[in-house]
């Protein structure tokens, strides 16, 4: 047991997936995911409408996201999943044919932390550098932006 005393790990439950961070890898508390922590309801709600388009920060930078399978989530289900994951917001994709996709958003500093993983049923799209709060949208006719509070 003594061999493990220097390794203190905390686990964050993201839906059905698990991400583990060592103590030395912790980010400032304001950047850590804070979704469902064992209670029946998520700490956050992801239903604050920001606008039609892609969520962006004050510098019009987009965020990394976990994306679900096509047509797997209604808007309400996506909002609940994003809240459970501790996302900062979500882009909900819906095109003219009725195709939908859930895209919970994460601060780039969170997704850059070693060990970050999307939960089962979601894949990581890590190509953006958005950090900080969602403050605006970039135009898109197929995405709607919501923040989690």
Q: Using one digit for the tens of pLDDT, what is the confidence trace for 38-97?
A: 455 557 899 999 999 999 999 999 999 999 999 999 999 999 999 999 999 999 999 999
Q: Provide the residue range defining the domain that includes 53.
A: 2-147
Maximum CA extent, the chain: 59
CA distances from 32 to 20, 28, 53, 94, 117 (A): 12, 7, 25, 29, 13
- What is the rounded distance in angstroms from the CA atom of residue 134 to the CA atom of residue 105? 10
Instruction: Provide the number of structural domains found in the chain.
Output: 1
Check pLDDT > 50 for residue 7: no
- pTM (2 decimals)? 0.73
């Amino acid at each position: 047991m003594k061999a493990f005393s220097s390794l203190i790990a905390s686990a964050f439950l993201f839906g059905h997936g698990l991400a583990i961070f060592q103590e030395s890898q912790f980010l400032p508390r304001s950047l850590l995911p804070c979704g469902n922590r064992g209670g029946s309801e998520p700490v956050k709600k992801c239903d604050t409408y920001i606008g039609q388009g892609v969520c962006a920060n004050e510098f019009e930078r987009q965020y990394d996201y976990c994306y679900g399978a096509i047509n797997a989530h209604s808007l309400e289900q996506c909002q609940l999943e994003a809240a459970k994951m501790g996302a900062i917001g979500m882009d909900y994709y819906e095109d003219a044919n009725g195709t939908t996709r859930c895209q919970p958003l994460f601060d780039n500093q969170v997704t850059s932390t070693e060990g970050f993983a999307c939960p089962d049923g979601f894949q990581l799209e890590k190509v953006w550098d958005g950090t900080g709060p969602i403050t605006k949208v970039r135009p898109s006719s197929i995405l709607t932006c919501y923040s989690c509070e």
